[in-house]
Amino acid sequence: YSQISRGKLPMRWMAPESLEYRFFSSKSDVWSYGVLCWEIMTLGGSPLQFLNTWESVLEHLQQGNRLKHPPGCPDKVYRVMEECWQSNPSHRPTFSYILQQLEYYAE
């Protein structure tokens, strides 16, 4: 789906295609889920707090920058986050796959 109005949105949690085109899908939700995981693993850290406009967030992400590996976060969990942040939405995992990976890691 796409957003027509220019209402307030959580820009630091949004996928690049959502920032640029206001296009939202399950794949953009996966991106946001990756940011949520990062937020949890940083015990409430604020993602990209140094960026104040959607244009600056978009440019930062388009340059290939991603949120850093949080201290104490297991490498396996951070790899899941990185998969969520693939630039190409079709390369991002599905929620079913993410659940499968996290269940496997929890064993």
pTM: 0.91
Asked if residue 6 belongs to a domain, the reply is no
101: CATH: 1.10.510.10
Total domains in the chain come to: 1
pLDDT of residue 107: 82
CA distance 36 to 45: 10
CA distance 89 to 25: 9
Asked if residue 64 belongs to a domain, the reply is yes
Domain hosting residue 72, numbered range: 11-106
What end-to-end distance do the CA atoms of the chain give, in Å? Answer: 36
The pLDDT profile of the chain, 107 residues, written as one tens digit per residue, is 555 556 678 999 999 999 999 999 999 999 999 999 999 999 999 999 999 999 999 999 999 999 999 999 999 999 999 999 999 999 999 999 999 999 999 88
